[in-house]
Amino acid sequence: MQRYKAIVSYDGTDYVGFQRQLNGKSIQEELEKALYKMTKGMSIGVVASGRTDSGVHATGQVIHFDYPAILPIQRMQKALNSLLPEDIRIDSVEIISSLFHARYHTCGKQYMYHVSLGEYQSPFKKRYALHHPYRVNIDKMKQALQDVLGEHDFTSFCSTKTDKENKIRCVTKADIVYKEEEQELIFIFEGNGFLYNMVRILVGTTLQIGDGLKPVTELKRLLTVKNRQEAGPTAAPHGLYLTSVFYKPENQWFQTYEENKGMMVVDTTN
């Protein structure tokens, strides 16, 4: 079995998320169906860097899978893309060490969230950007986001449905880019990990600050109170994109493999 690593883009609008679920089609299911056809009936598990929720998009999701033959990477990419729906695309493929693990070797991710500020939402954006037709103070929002940089307990910015007990994460970038011609805000977040709905709650709360409904110190206060009920709304999923996944250096893969060996066996069968 040869291990392959691939970068995947997808429009998440018509999917229940990346992970297989019983209540609808998923990105993982479509990828595994394509591999099933390529191997003429062999079930091959696809492992991703992490889940994305229903409606969330990706331009830089990373997966790995073990294939029972060595194919040139261009042939592998072409074969998969020919069998996948048009809203899922394999952007690149590489042959990689069997020690590499798309999930357990991550050391950080980048997410972007798109907000359309125009009075009327473009029909070409309604699936890909949150419509927020209000005048916002971008400088105040940028100032507020500086308070989430560094290591904090993000309980206030995490869905109560999470199964994670440890809510401490380190955010290394929290910024906003404004595209004036398109009347669009792009929130950019980078960190060593993100909790369930964390980016979407940060966006929803920061927009309240931009609207003047909350003070510029609100994010700092919420980090202290550790109460999801006091934070702003969870922004809609269709504005969110997983754009990049960062990985540990190759010389750390074996150590991580040994630490997670038992968990990795379970994960690859999902």
Tens-digit pLDDT profile for residues 193-230: 999 999 999 999 999 999 999 999 999 999 999 999 99
Given CATH 3.40.710.10, say whether it is the number of domain 106-243.
no
Assess whether pLDDT exceeds 90 at residue 165.
no
* Token pair of 114 as six digits: 């798109």
Q: How far is CA 88 from the centre of its chain?
A: 15
- The arrangement of secondary structure in 2-104+248-267, i.e. its CATH architecture, is 2-Layer Sandwich (3.30)
Structure confidence by residue, pLDDT tens digits, 224-264: 999 999 999 999 999 999 999 999 888 777 665 555 544 43
Spatial separation of the C-alpha atoms in residues 71 and 238, rounded to whole Å: 35
* pTM for this entry: 0.91
Q: What are the extents of the domains in the chain?
A: 2-104+248-267, 106-243
Judge contact between 12 and 19, C-beta under 8 A.
no
Q: Which residues are catalytic?
A: 53
Spatial separation of the C-alpha atoms in residues 29 and 85, rounded to whole Å: 11
Judge contact between 29 and 15, C-beta under 8 A.
no
Judge contact between 168 and 191, C-beta under 8 A.
no
2-104+248-267 with 106-243: one CATH topology? yes
Assess whether pLDDT exceeds 50 at residue 24.
yes
